[in-house]
Amino acid sequence: MAPIVRVSKLDKYFGRLHVIQNISLDVQPREVVCLIGRSGSGKSTLLRCINFLEEPSSGSIEVDGLVVQSHGRGKEHRQLIHDVRLKTGMVFQEFNLFPHMTVLGNVIEGPVTVKGMNRAEAIALAEENLDSVGLLFKKDEYPARLSGGQKQRVAIARALTMQPRVMLFDEPTSALDPELIGEVLNVMKKVAKDGMTMLVVTHEMGFAREVADRVLVMGDGEIIEDAKPSTLFSKPKDPRTKALIDRYRTGGH
Amino acid sequence: MEKTTTPKKSQADLLVEAQQRKQNQFRMGVGATWGFLLLVLIFLFSGKTVLGFETIQLDTEFMRKNFTFIGEGLGETLLISILSISLAILLALLTALGRLSTFPPIFAVSTFYVSLIRGTPLYLQIFFFFLALPQLGIILSGLTAGVLALGLNYGAYMSETFRAALSSVGKGQREAATALGMTPLQTMRRVILPQALRFAIPPMGNDFISMTKDSALVAATGFVHEVLWRATKVGRAQFNNLEALLMAAMFYWFMTLILTFFQTRLEARLARGER
């Protein structure tokens, strides 16, 4: 099967800092891939390069057949990036809901403004997705009135309503109080079960172990390990992976 | 389920009440002092002699006769202010956006404009439009010259407010919009501006209130019949400048009080709104 996401020879520099070092990566359709690693290992940057929130320094990104080179210029290149963004939904650590719009307003904003979908159709789709994250009853509330967990579930519904091919999660539970993490992870499990391709940057080892098809461990801008969770968690090869897993096992963050 | 009715007030209720009492006392104290100061001011101009202290005698006949003439200038004052603030908001917004631009010429035009305007007096700018431009064959009416000068001047100052408001919207908002596939223009229009404007409304109200007074400078052109122009006209003609200017001052003050009242309510409403 052809991969739905292909990262080829990707490099990213922040000034002189080489945060992504020649990474190549394939993700198959319906695969759930968790990216773990210490902070500063480049996992978020890698994720953000896929929808060009960060411009890669070199290499290329392919999403669902669209190939975008890092050094493209001009209208065609911008159009390609735009198309890639339409195929990828993104969920942020800080939710980033639009505070001046209601929950429903947040969820229909993309389809209506970006895709030009008619309002009624967008609302129907939005309500369906809000229902599946369990928050249809909050549709007329403003984000300020929601808990962190609820905000993140709305953010997931917002991304899903764009009907992406791939979902990118950038530490979706890291800003949440511990008791609110579960509800977000449950929604994510549901999305995975529905067959969505997912790339998840996370510190939730339990989630990685239970839901991921593959776990990538990042360290110093490289993928240092790429394995099934069962293998990775029982027999880590790299000492850095072992240290990482041990730290979470003992409850440290 | 058991219903608890508390006949006695709880400790918290008592504390809240005590606090409210304190607040009310403060407000009443402030109100009473304002009233007293106002009475002193009125007394100073009453013309009565009390305890050998002689106060200022005003020509009430003149004041009665010219009250409406000066007061009618409020319409013109408000008209100039509204036209100028509209121009200023437009310029301020464009300038603020320009200052966020990564395209050097646009950034330069914005900073150049702000620097030029802030580096010269408003009074000079008004004269420039009214007196200097005719030399180049551009003849503007007093009103147009005034509105252009006030608008350009306030636009430069207000652009700082707008810039602060725009940068108060977190970068996560831009990223979320971008990730949804919005173009920079859509992001600005749908996500950044609505949030920034809300932040900018209170300072914009302040600027408007202050502009209603600065609009008096336009009287210098001699062709805009706003409050101050009218006051100086009748005051000079009949050598009643004291009365005329006092009346003008009262009109400005009264207008400011009303505008401030609305401004305070608007701010309270915005503070209550969803954020």
Q: Mind giving me the DSSP string for chain A?
A: ---SEEEEEEEEEETTEEEEEEEEEEE-TT-EEEEEE-TTSSHHHHHHHHTTSS--SEEEEEETTEEEETT--HHHHHHHHHHHHHHEEEE-TT----TTS-HHHHHHHIIIIIT---HHHHHHHHHHHHHHTT-GGGTTS-GGGS-HHHHHHHHHHHHHHT--SEEEEESTTTTS-HHHHHHHHHHHHHHHHTT-EEEEE-S-HHHHHHH-SEEEEEETTEEEEEE-HHHHHHS--SHHHHHHHHHHHTT--
Higher pLDDT, B64 or A170: A170
Q: What gap in Å lies between CA A134 and CA B177, rounded to an integer?
A: 24
Report the DSSP pairing between strands A5-14 and A58-63: antiparallel
Q: Which of B178, B198, B275 sits opposite A53 (nearest CB)?
A: B178
pLDDT at residue A251, as a whole number: 55
pLDDT at residue B58, as a whole number: 83
Nearest-CA distance from B190 to chain A in Å? 9
Question: Percent of chain A beyond pLDDT 90?
Answer: 82
Nearest-CA distance from B61 to chain A in Å? 56
- What tokens appear for A194 in the block? 């529905």
**Does the pLDDT of residue B6 top 70, yes or no?**
no
By C-alpha distance, the chain B residue nearest A108 is: B180
Nearest-CA distance from B231 to chain A in Å? 47
| pLDDT-based confidence at residue B5 (cuts at 50, 70, 90) | low
Determine, for residues B274 and A100 on separate chains, whether the beta-carbon distance falls below 8 Å: yes
Q: Which of A85, A99, A100 sits opposite B181 (nearest CB)?
A: A85
- What tokens appear for B119 in the block? 């580096």
pLDDT at residue A250, as a whole number: 64
For the ranges A38-42, A151-155, B156-160, B177-181, the lowest mean pLDDT is seen at: A38-42
Three-state secondary-structure class, residue B28: helix
Q: What gap in Å lies between CA B70 and CA A46, rounded to an integer?
A: 70
- What tokens appear for B10 in the block? 């709880």
Q: What gap in Å lies between CA A20 and CA A222, rounded to an integer?
A: 6
Three-state secondary-structure class, residue B50: strand
In terms of C-beta density within 10 A (0-12 exposed, 13-18 middle, 19 or more buried), how is residue A127 classed?
middle
Measured between its terminal Cα atoms, the distance across chain A in Å is: 37
User: Are A36 and A85 a contacting pair, CB within 8 Å?
Assistant: no
Nearest-CA distance from B98 to chain A in Å? 22
User: Are A18 and A42 a contacting pair, CB within 8 Å?
Assistant: no
Q: Any chain B CB within 8 A of the CB of A145? A: yes
- Cβ contacts (< 8 Å) between B179 and chain A: which residues? 51, 53, 85, 88-90, 92, 159
Residue appearing with tokens 């052809």:
A2
Tell me the one-letter amino acid at B18: A
| pLDDT-based confidence at residue A246 (cuts at 50, 70, 90) | confident
Q: Any chain B CB within 8 A of the CB of A228? A: no
Q: What is the mean pLDDT of residues B251-258?
A: 93
Q: Which residues pair with A88 in a beta bridge?
A: A166
Report the DSSP pairing between strands A17-27 and A5-14: antiparallel
- Cβ contacts (< 8 Å) between A113 and chain B: which residues? 180, 182, 186, 190
- Cβ contacts (< 8 Å) between B176 and chain A: which residues? 90, 92, 96-98
Q: Any chain B CB within 8 A of the CB of A86? A: yes
- Cβ contacts (< 8 Å) between A89 and chain B: which residues? 179
Q: Any chain B CB within 8 A of the CB of A144? A: yes
Q: What is the mean pLDDT of residues B94-109?
A: 93
| pLDDT-based confidence at residue B266 (cuts at 50, 70, 90) | confident
Q: Any chain B CB within 8 A of the CB of A114? A: yes
Determine, for residues B190 and A82 on separate chains, whether the beta-carbon distance falls below 8 Å: no
**Of A243, A253, A241, which Cα lies nearest the Cα of A34?**
A241
Nearest-CA distance from B191 to chain A in Å? 7
Question: Percent of chain B beyond pLDDT 70?
Answer: 96
Radius of gyration of chain A (CA): 18
| pLDDT-based confidence at residue B7 (cuts at 50, 70, 90) | low
- pLDDT tens profile A175-208: 999 999 999 999 999 999 999 999 999 999 999 9
Nearest-CA distance from A225 to chain B in Å? 28
pLDDT at residue B275, as a whole number: 46
| pLDDT-based confidence at residue B139 (cuts at 50, 70, 90) | confident
Q: Any chain B CB within 8 A of the CB of A147? A: no
**Does the pLDDT of residue A21 top 70, yes or no?**
yes
**Does the pLDDT of residue A1 top 80, yes or no?**
no
In terms of C-beta density within 10 A (0-12 exposed, 13-18 middle, 19 or more buried), how is residue B223 classed?
middle
Higher pLDDT, B182 or A243: B182
* pTM recorded for the entire structure: 0.81
Give whole-number Cα distances, A35 to A63, B13, B133, in Å: 18, 53, 67
Three-state secondary-structure class, residue B54: strand
- The most distant pair of C-alpha atoms in chain A lies apart, rounded to whole Å, by 54
Q: What gap in Å lies between CA A82 and CA B207, rounded to an integer?
A: 40
Dihedral, CA of residue A52, residue A58, residue A63 and residue A66, to nearest 10: 100
User: Are A35 and A43 a contacting pair, CB within 8 Å?
Assistant: yes
Determine, for residues B275 and A144 on separate chains, whether the beta-carbon distance falls below 8 Å: yes
User: Are A45 and A12 a contacting pair, CB within 8 Å?
Assistant: yes
Q: Any chain B CB within 8 A of the CB of A51? A: yes
User: Positive or negative CA dihedral for B170, B176, B182, B186?
Assistant: negative
pLDDT at residue A252, as a whole number: 47
Q: Any chain B CB within 8 A of the CB of A82? A: yes
Has the ipTM of the complex gone over 0.90? yes
**Does the pLDDT of residue A23 top 90, yes or no?**
yes
| Chain B residues within 8 Å of chain A (Cβ atoms) | 170, 172-173, 175-183, 186, 190-191, 194-195, 198, 274-275
Determine, for residues B175 and A96 on separate chains, whether the beta-carbon distance falls below 8 Å: yes
Average pLDDT, chain A: 93
Three-state secondary-structure class, residue B272: helix
Q: Which of A97, A100, A114 sits opposite B181 (nearest CB)?
A: A114
**Does the pLDDT of residue B29 top 70, yes or no?**
yes
pLDDT at residue B241, as a whole number: 87
Determine, for residues B179 and A86 on separate chains, whether the beta-carbon distance falls below 8 Å: no
Q: What gap in Å lies between CA B181 and CA B183, rounded to an integer?
A: 6
Instruction: Quote the DSSP letter at residue B240.
Output: -
Q: What is the mean pLDDT of residues B126-139?
A: 87
Determine, for residues A96 and B176 on separate chains, whether the beta-carbon distance falls below 8 Å: yes
Determine, for residues A158 and B180 on separate chains, whether the beta-carbon distance falls below 8 Å: yes
Higher pLDDT, B80 or B269: B80
